[in-house]
Amino acid sequence: MESKYELQDTPIDKMTHECGVFGVWSPKPDSIFAFVYYGLYALQHRGQESSGISITLPEGRIVSKKGMGVVSDVFDELSMVKIVGKSAIGHVRYSTFGSSNVENAQPLEISSKYGQIALAHNGNLSNARLLKEALKDKGSIFQTNIDSEVILHLLTRSDTRHVENALHDALSQIEGGYALVVMTGDKLIGIRDPDGIRPLCMGKTDDGKYVLSSESCGLDAVGAEFIRDIEPGEMVRISEKGVTSKKFTEDTKKLPCSFEYIYFARPDSTMDGVDVYKVRHKSGQLLYDQHKVEADVVIGVPDSGTPAAIGFSEASGIPYGMGLIKNKYIGRTFIKPSQELRERAVGVKLNPLKPILEGKRVVVIDDSIVRGTTSRRLVTMLKEAGAKEVHFRVASPPVKWPCFLGIDTPTKNELIANHMSPKELGEWMGADSLEYLSIENLRTSLAGENYCFGCLTGAYPVKSPEELETAASCRLV
């Protein structure tokens, strides 16, 4: 099928992760640099562009190391064991705001009237551009082009005596979805946005260390027991005085990002009391109930499509098979500089298993379709491997709107669901059929409606940057 939809020369065919943050506070000096290293390793799926760790040394001085690449590329595991400190924070990044270079790697560190401060940020500030221009007008000089630096400039403008109050002043001026870990010479602070869009949780180890992590899988990696999720609009402080908590705003809702459960988060994570694996598994079951099909084998697109494929198989009685083998050394942000190379790259990342596919009617389950280029190539690969029929099923609704709350998404025009119906898209891909999970069934899988579905429905919990810029100019507190 020919289509008027023009393939865009863009680097990836998936929603791309925001970032991952991790922090630890120890009651006594310990090898916590290595501790954060392993925590970031567990969060590597949230960003492979740059990695960084800041640590408070026993005398209270903060030192940092950052670099481009994954955690194992940036840090030497053996030398890290020797670095002792009381607290540390870490960050893995994919650029959602600002370009890709080491100057934009986090944590960000400043020396201020409150002493040294290090900050790691997951998410996006929807009013970042407005705030940045207002700060520049007041004389602020920016060293990076990421929105996280805006928070530090707002913090240093406060006339309060304590850093927590300065953070409160800064947070009262920003909008968007975010999770922050902030470290000073004597404390660790965790913050979650008022709508709870970006995740952050807290745990504790047997020897008394407190841990903050974007996902619970980060706690598991360092042997910390999950305590609870940080609540929307909450600031948690961890120090020698213990753990204290306060709300920096009373105007809160809990609307976690639905795409965390669809694709971003690791399946072994639990977020806001909901198991990611169970959501994906249930979505697969409901996908079969909604769009039945006769077939011989069900396969999933690894890794995030696998739980839904298992659910689809169990609901349908169609056997599940490992029909696609993934090259585990190819990251989620594998850059393809041209359309031809991008489509060829699918064969580098995924390879069909012919004994499972030959002569079979195949149902292939993926978590989502963004631009459709990968899915189209995948159907071709499956048929070239001998599949008699290929029925494509998507364990989420069509993605039709971009995200400005911490996810790197294409423009609305680049989203293929805005150009083709499911039938047209299936024909263009070469599939025998294509169907999506409904928004109603996604809500059922999530066991509730209190989520952000902005990229699926166009209804966002906060104003977009365009709406904010149209509404009024920005005034600093």
3-state SS of 229-266?
ECCCCEEEEEECCEEEEEECCCCCCCCCEHHHHHHHCC
Q: What is the mean pLDDT of residues 407-422?
A: 87
pLDDT at 340 over 70: no
Q: Residue 281's pLDDT is what?
A: 99
The region, left, alpha or beta by phi > 0 then psi within -120 to 50, assigned to residue 406 is left
Q: Residue 165: is its pLDDT beyond 90?
A: yes
What integer pLDDT is reported at residue 472 of this predicted model? 59
Q: How confident is the model at residue 13 (pLDDT cuts 50, 70, 90)?
A: low
The alpha carbon of 438 is separated from its chain's Cα centroid by a whole number of angstroms, namely: 23
Using a pLDDT cut of 90, give the percent of the chain over it: 76
Work out the mean pLDDT of the chain and round it to a whole number.
90
Mean pLDDT lowest for which of 190-194, 444-448, 469-473? Answer: 469-473
pLDDT digits (tens, 9 = 90+) for 133-160: 999 998 888 998 899 999 999 999 999 9
89/56 Cα distance (integer angstroms): 9
448 or 204: which leads in pLDDT: 204
Q: For 258-286, what is each residue's pLDDT tens digit? A: 999 999 999 999 999 999 999 999 999 99
Say yes or no to pLDDT of 16 above 80: no
How confident is the model at residue 94, as a pLDDT? 78
Is the model's pLDDT at 473 over the cut of 90? no
- The answer to whether residue 236 scores a pLDDT higher than 70 is yes
Q: Two tokens at 41?
A: 């390793």
What's residue 4's pLDDT?
43
pLDDT of residue 145: 85
Place 377 in a pLDDT band, splitting at 50, 70 and 90.
Answer: very high
pLDDT for residue 336: 39
What's the CA gap between 211 and 216, in Å, rounded?
10
- Of the ranges 1-5, 275-279, 473-477, the best mean pLDDT one: 275-279
Question: How far apart are alpha carbons 231 and 234 in whole angstroms?
Answer: 5
Calculate mean pLDDT across residues 355-378.
Answer: 95
Look at 10-14, 125-129, 294-298, 356-360 and tell me which has the smallest mean pLDDT: 10-14
The predicted structure's pLDDT at residue 462: 87
Of 386 and 403, more confident = 386
Percent of the chain with pLDDT over 70: 89
Query: Strands 361-366, 350-352: parallel, antiparallel or unpaired by DSSP?
Result: unpaired
Q: How confident is the model at residue 424 (pLDDT cuts 50, 70, 90)?
A: very high
71, pLDDT greater than 60: yes
Strand arrangement, sheet containing 297-300: 297-300, 361-366, 389-394, 433-436
| Residue ranges of domains in the chain, CATH in brackets | 19-255 (3.60.20.10), 277-447 (3.40.50.2020)
Give the pLDDT score at 347. 65
The pLDDT value given to residue 280: 99
Give the pLDDT confidence score for residue 158 in this predicted structure: 93
- Find the catalytic residue in 19, 217, 452, 455: 19
Q: How confident is the model at residue 5 (pLDDT cuts 50, 70, 90)?
A: very low
Q: Is the pLDDT of residue 6 over 60?
A: no
pLDDT at 476 over 60: yes
User: For 236-240, 292-296, 297-301, 462-466, which range has the lowest pLDDT when averaged over its residues?
Assistant: 462-466
What integer is the mean pLDDT of 58-69?
94
DSSP category for residue 224: P
- Residue 337 predicted with pLDDT over 70: no
Contacts of 118 (CB under 8 A, 6+ apart): 54, 62, 64, 89, 107, 108, 109, 182, 183
- Active-site residue, 455 included: no
Q: Residue 74: pLDDT above 60?
A: yes
